[in-house]
């Protein structure tokens, strides 16, 4: 596994008046997700919310993919670790805004 060069997770989402911000585990800003409506006013459109959830799930998604990749590269069955599927599903649910 390579050295992690991104802010450590988990990342979270905080609502602002016209946008959503993604924060790392120390509360530092990682990203801002916002959009405009058809009248040119800033608001929180559904795709902006979906983008924020996907960005916030990035560390967990990376870890899950890295774990699967390790098992495949070493010819290990992907079910080798008990909690792998559970971690993958949790990362996907976070990315989908369900968690």
**Domain ranges, ordered by start, for the chain:** 9-45, 57-99
Per-residue pLDDT band for 79 (boundaries 50, 70, 90) equals low
Per-residue pLDDT band for 75 (boundaries 50, 70, 90) equals confident
Q: Are 63 and 87 in contact (CB under 8 A)?
A: yes
Q: Are 7 and 28 in contact (CB under 8 A)?
A: yes
End-to-end CA distance of the chain: 27
Q: What is the pTM of this model?
A: 0.81
């Amino acid at each position: 596994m390579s050295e992690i060069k991104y802010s450590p997770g988990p990342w979270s989402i905080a609502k602002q008046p016209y946008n959503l911000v993604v924060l790392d585990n120390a509360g530092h800003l990682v990203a801002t997700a916002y959009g405009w409506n058809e009248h040119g006013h800033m608001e929180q459109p559904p795709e902006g919310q979906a983008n924020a959830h996907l960005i916030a799930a990035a560390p967990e998604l990376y870890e899950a993919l890295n774990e699967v990749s390790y098992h495949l590269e070493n010819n290990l069955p992907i079910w080798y670790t008990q909690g792998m599927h559970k971690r993958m599903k949790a990362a996907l649910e976070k990315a989908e805004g369900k968690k």
